[in-house]
A = this chain, B = another copy of it.
Amino acid sequence: MKALAQNETVNAQVLTALRAAVITGELAPGTLHSVQTLATELGVSRTPVREALIKLAQQGMVRFERNRGVRILQTSLHDLEEVFALRLLLEPAAVRRAVTRLDEPTRKELRKLFAAMQKAAKADDEFTMLEHDRRFHRVVLEASGNTRLATYVDGLRDMVLRRGVSTARESRSLDDIVDEHAEILVLIEAGDSDGAAQAMRAHILHTAELLIAQEAGAEVGALDIDLGWTNPAAGDADMRPD
């Protein structure tokens, strides 16, 4: 278990450490752990650990089992479908909105994050790459002006990360990921809100298909995967009753 950082409330430190441990697989899906054990490993008392676990439980990463322990939940195929269906509904719309609200500092940060992604991809540093990937999306989401949306979608990524980490490489190169973000960034900077939204949608859909296809292979087999219901061909267009 990783040591704790400083200059923060213990609760937040524990939360970060536990989340990281789950994502990296240090706390393996399906396994049981006691609050006491985790607290000892982190060098704190049970209270902040329990409180952090409550937050993770609300997010769906763990589950308390009375008198048994805390179970690390694994993301099922259905979980992935749910997460990506939500992301497909929210992120393209957020990008579209963000383009119309973007200011220069935010634009600059996006460029900076993208450059960091490129650099990490060149160095074949998957972890750093995914970190910047996440921050890139986060900045875009926040630029939409909807904090709740940004926070929620960012939380959804946790469900996927432990699949993405160490498996992304098998199906898609880091350079491919960079390329998809490049397209999004270009369209954002060009002020093309619809184009950026479409690029984001394609990016998420692509990621979803790779992860779900991979996971479906690892499970029972063929399952009807349809994420398209999120944005049907004949959809919400021209539906402005006002």
Contacts and interface: CB of A to CB of B under 8 A. Distances in A.
A41 interface: no
B242 A146 contact: no
Nearest to A11: B54
B237 A149 contact: no
A107 to B, nearest CB: 19
A90 B89 contact: yes
B146 A236 contact: no
For this chain, the copies found in one complex come to 2
The dominant DSSP class at the A interface is helix
A3 to B, nearest CB: 24
Nearest to A238: B233
Contact of A85 (B81, B146, B228): B146
A13 B198 CA distance: 45
A179 to B, nearest CB: 14
Interface string A186-209: 000000001001100110011001
Interface of A: 50-51, 54-55, 58, 60, 81-83, 85-86, 89-90, 92-93, 96-97, 100, 146-149, 152, 156, 194, 197-198, 201-202, 205-206, 209, 228-242
